[in-house]
Amino acid sequence: MKKNKNEKHKLPNPDPNLIKMNNSLIKTEEWYNIQDMMDYLKVSRSTLNRLVRTKQLPSLKLGGTLMFPKNLINSIMQNQSLKHIKPNNNSPLDA
């Protein structure tokens, strides 16, 4: 079956609960600009652009300026660092 030209790029309807969550996040979120992210991650502009292009970092373009949600970036960094921890049965954190 051949798809209509408009159907090819049609996005699914977003979940209304997700929209409410995103709206509250946007209102309370602090944002990094490109220079802030370069300093925070200690990477070059080209590396930052590659991370955005490959969708490894969430970003939003506001008025032509690329912005990064601070809390979400911190959560991603935390999750990435926790992936490298091996479980230890004798860990003091288990007590």
Domain-wise residue ranges, the chain: 28-77
- In this structure, which topology does domain 28-77 adopt according to CATH? Arc Repressor Mutant, subunit A (1.10.10)
For residue 15, the model assigns a pLDDT of 53
pLDDT on residue 18? 47
C-alpha 52: how far from its chain's center? 9
Strand-pairing partners, residue 61, are: 66
Work out the average pLDDT over 34-58.
94
What are the counts of helices (DSSP H) followed by strands (DSSP E) for the chain? 5, 3
Angle between helices 45-53 and 34-41 (to 10 degrees): 100
Distance CA 93, CA 42 (A): 31
Q: Token digits for 47?
A: 């590396």
pLDDT at 85: 79
Position 36 scores a pLDDT of 95
